[in-house]
Homo-oligomer: A and B are copies of this chain.
Amino acid sequence: MKTEDVVLGILNEKSQTGYDIVEKIKTIFSHFFDGSYGSIYPVLHKLENKGKVTKKIIVQEGKPNKNLYSITESGREEFNKYLRSPVQTEVMKSDFLMRLYHGEYLPEEQIKQIIIEEINRKEQLVEELESQFEVWKEDMSSYQKLCCQIGIESYRSEIEILKKFQGH
């Protein structure tokens, strides 16, 4: 899964600005993808050069101008090629589990604290995802809703697992 395909997928739904795309990634994609301005803006320029998207400048008053991007026919083809390509394995990077692995080199109190913090962090994430789901769900397809629900349930399971192992 390339960032280019992710951006094409978002623009395939509707025309949007780079700012909108990053917002969507940071909210409803947060549990399975990551992107920032530093990665999304360059990708949009690249896609424009390749003719996969077109840009329309929208002049605004009292606010900065917007670059509204739309997917082209060539972009749709590329996106469909992606959709039919083999699914890549999931990648997980967990600093939390790395700390836990080396737990014997830290005082027990500190490990307990790290576990508590991880539970809190995940409870925060599940709350955010749930509230974002409420915001977006009217405009979501059943598959998109499913995707959010899986995220919510995954976080909840993780929290349960950590609570179960809390206190050895």
Contacts and interface: CB of A to CB of B under 8 A. Distances in A.
Interface string A87-127: 11111111111111111111000010010011001000000
A111 B93 CA distance: 26
Contacts of A80: 105
B92 A91 contact: yes
Chain A binding surface, main DSSP class: helix
A158 interface: yes
A63 interface: no
Contact of A92 (B90, B99, B118, B161): B90
- Closest A-B pairs by Cβ, 6 of them: A103-B143, A157-B157, A32-B94, A32-B97, A88-B95, A1-B95
Interface of A: 1, 6, 9, 12, 29, 31-34, 80, 83-84, 87-106, 111, 114, 117-118, 121, 141-144, 146-147, 149-151, 153-154, 157-158, 160-162, 165, 168
